[in-house]
Amino acid sequence: MFSIGELSKRTKVKVPTIRYYEEMGLLAEAERTSGNQRRYDKEGLERLSFIRHARDLGFSIEAISSLIELQDHPDRSCEAATDIAVSQLADVRAKIKRLKLLEKELTRISKGCDGHGVSEDCYVLASLADHELCEREH
C-alpha cells in the first residue's frame, strides 16, 4: 500500500492532482487508514501511471475517462480507443501546423529589428501593436 505522498513520488504526479483525479472519478477512491490517510494499492499506482502517460500525450480528461472505461472492460472492441488516439493525433498535427506558422511570423518579425535602435522605431513593437504588419494569419 502506498501513501498519497509515495504515489506522488513514484508517478511524478502532484498530490493535489491525485486528489483531483479521484474527484473526477479517473482514479478509484483510496482506502483510508484509521487516521483517515489515503492508501493506494498496486492497481491505483498503475491507473495513475496510465493517466499520467495519457496526459503527457495531451489527451483530455474526457478522452482519458473513455479510455479507462474501455480498459475496465477488456472484452470490448478497441476501435473506440483507436478513434480517440487518431483524434488526438489530428489535434497534435493541427497544433504543430499553427506553431510552424507562429515560428515563421516570429522569425520574420524578429529579423525586422536589429535591436540597436530605440523602442520608438522598433519593428518588433510595431508589429505587435499593428496586426496588419503580419504577413499571414496566425
When pLDDT is averaged across residues 29-51 and rounded to a whole number, the result is: 89
Query: Which residues in the chain belong to E strands, given as ranges?
Result: 2-3, 31-32, 38-40
27 with 48: CB under 8 angstroms?
yes
Grid coordinates representing 33 are 487508514
Residue with cell 479507462: 68
Confidence of residue 51 (pLDDT cuts 50, 70, 90): very high
Residue 57 C-alpha cell reads as 500525450
Q: How does pLDDT run across 77-110, given as a tens digit for each residue?
A: 999 999 999 999 999 999 999 999 999 988 888 8
User: Residue 19 — pLDDT band, cuts 50, 70, 90?
Assistant: very high
Q: Are the CB atoms for 5 and 15 separated by under 8 Å?
A: yes
Largest CA distance in the chain: 69
Residues 74-98 as b/e (b if ≥16 CB within 10 A, e otherwise) read eeeeeeebeebbeebeeeeeeeeee
pTM of the predicted model as reported, rounded to 2 decimal places: 0.79
CATH architecture of 1-76: Orthogonal Bundle (1.10)
- Domain ranges in the chain are 1-76, 95-138
